[in-house]
Structure 1
Amino acid sequence: MITLPQHWGVRFTPTVHTHAEGPTDPSNNKLHPNFVVVVTGAGKGLGYHIALAYAQAGAHGIVIASRTKSDLSSLEKEIKSTAPDSIVLVQTCDTQSDDDVKCLADATKAKFGRLDVVVANAGIISKYLEGPDGKQRLPIGIVEDADFDRVINTNFMGSYRVAKHFVPQLVETKDGPQAFVCITSLASLTNSSDLTPIAYNLSKIGNNRMVQHIHNDHKKDGVQAFAVHPGAVLTPQTEMHHTTQLGVGWTELLTDDVKLCGGFLTWLTREKREWLSGRYLSAAWDVDELTAMKDEIVEGDKLVMRLVV
């Protein structure tokens, strides 16, 4: 069984959830009539269900982007079935390409003229290796991780490109939540590649720090920024983890529902929550308990990356 350290904050709130429910149920988070959201990496897994959650919450405009057009076509149909009044903008976009991300931002502005939330979700993990026993495994250490450039370019630089081109639109939309959401991972808190590869881990801690910078640099403009761990979720990206040498451990760990994060985000971005901006958050945390801890979090400046001395 994989045991996670207490200081990773898995149980920062006494209660944790595996499904979106109650205050994180999208149907309980009705959005304002002109609400526009952009989701990258929306073709599969987390991004797919994040976009659907915003549809269920009544978003007026939903921009869905990924590298694969056919995946987006399926999502567009499901959004239209869920929320017939929502306007959906579909665009292929590889976040490794600055031109692609700029085109996505330009298309969003041309179509809607405003932006309430952008979710930088597109991400990958290093390619699997084959161990001496013939079983698949993730690379361990900096020497084995030959996929370093691709992972950093997608997970960290991709999120940077999304921020670069969309934060100006958030600044302009003064009557909305003005929220930049970066999907991070619990792996951002580890200093070992025993569980997940070093490139993935570093890309995610980079995302956490970028969120802190965006918060500090743009809070004067009203912009909020959040680094959100989506829960321990089985997705097309993580489903092969079961076949690795840590297979049983992954089976025990990846038990959260893929819809958990989308529900949490509809709660988080329904309104301004400046006291959580610039911080690492987990979609599994109980939001009522989290809200009750507001003073403790703000006064102690908790849930941020820093050196303890």
Structure 2
Amino acid sequence: MTKLLSGTAFITGAASGIGYHTALSFAKYGMENLALADIDRDTLAQAAKSVREKYPGVQVLELEMDVRRTDQVKAGLDALVARFGRLDVAVNNAAIRGPTSATDQTDEGAWADVIETNLSGVWRGQKEALRVMLGQEDRGSREGRGRIINTASMFGLFAPPKGLSHTPYTAAKHGVVGLTKADAVIYGKQGIRINAICPGWTATPLLQQVIDDPNQPMLNQEIERGAMPRAGHVDEIADAIVFLASPMSSFMQGASIVVDGGFTLT
């Protein structure tokens, strides 16, 4: 297998779904050290065990972390540096689905929880990753001081279809795209690349439950509407993140890479 990656990666929301499969893809393509962060300690331990079993040469650091807590995010990055010495790639992926009710029926606390997790949590991860990367050696145009990939969504670029109310989620993911662009301008000259990945319908465990629910026909109808009428596999999203983390994307900055099977084309 071609070695596209090397060094140390930090991934939030790493216990399942896109985060877990990103860890597997990073290990597959050569990353030697993985710091896996998640709020769910037990599921995180299972994910870390799975990575170690599949790739016994990879060093795995487990970080129980709530991205809504500044102290926990900072402590996690400090633990990473203490263990591995350098941070090469940060993937700010932790997110929740949040309420699917219309705005006039949505509780303010539920709104705030989505923003705190899906937007401010990404900001905290990015801030602490930048703190570490700015103190590191710049390894030239291909690697720089480090790379940051933020998980946004196709709903960070446009609104959900009528009948699928995801306003807090959509607002937060639009914010992630804006955060990515704004900081890409500021930190590009300092050798830090920042890009966003915008997945479409992806068969994470959570979405698969909805896809399989006969009482939720609208989602399947929307998936069928795409140019490729299926949900994406989590490893397909993870492999796109590998591309953004690798030297192959070294002249990309502030980009929002859509991986949606052509849904946005329709």
The size of the alignment, in residue pairs, is 247
Q: Return closer, same or farther for 1:31/1:275 CA change in 2, 3 Å cut-off.
A: closer
Aligned residues of 1:148 and 1:199 also touching (Cα < 8 A): yes
**Distance across 2 between alignment mates of 1:109 and 1:64:** 13
Q: Which amino acid is 2:128 matched to?
A: H
Matches within 5 A, 1:72-83: 72-83=44-55
Q: CA RMSD in A?
A: 2.1
Verify: 1:182 aligned to 2:150, yes or no.
Answer: yes
Higher normalized contact order (CA 8 Å, seq sep 6+, divided by chain length) = 1
Unaligned runs of 5+ in 2: none
Q: Which amino acid is 2:189 matched to?
A: K
Aligned residues of 1:29 and 1:267 also touching (Cα < 8 A): no
Q: Which amino acid is 1:69 matched to?
A: R
**Distance across 2 between alignment mates of 1:246 and 1:90:** 38
Verify: 1:227 aligned to 2:200, yes or no.
Answer: no
**One of 253, 258, 264 as aligned partner of 1:282:** 258
Task: After TM superposition, give the deviation of residue 238 of structure 1 in Å.
Answer: 1.9
**Distance across 1 between alignment mates of 2:116 and 2:253:** 25
Task: After TM superposition, give the deviation of residue 126 of structure 1 in Å.
Answer: 1.7
Task: After TM superposition, give the deviation of residue 193 of structure 1 in Å.
Answer: 6.8
Q: Which amino acid is 2:4 matched to?
A: K
Aligned residues of 1:45 and 1:258 also touching (Cα < 8 A): yes
TM-score by length of 2: 0.85
Q: Which amino acid is 1:71 matched to?
A: T
| Alignment partner, residue 89 of structure 2 | 117
TM-score by length of 1: 0.74
Q: Return closer, same or farther for 1:173/1:144 CA change in 2, 3 Å cut-off.
A: farther
Matches within 5 A, 1:47-196: 47-127=19-99, 138-140=100-102, 142-146=103-107, 147-171=110-134, 172-175=136-139, 176-177=143-144, 178-191=146-159, 194=162, 195-196=164-165
Unaligned runs of 5+ in 1: 1-26, 128-137, 287-309
Aligned residues of 1:115 and 1:173 also touching (Cα < 8 A): no
Verify: 1:31 aligned to 2:5, yes or no.
Answer: yes
**Distance across 1 between alignment mates of 2:250 and 2:165:** 31
Q: Percent identity?
A: 24
Q: Which amino acid is 1:219 matched to?
A: G
Aligned residues of 2:148 and 2:245 also touching (Cα < 8 A): no
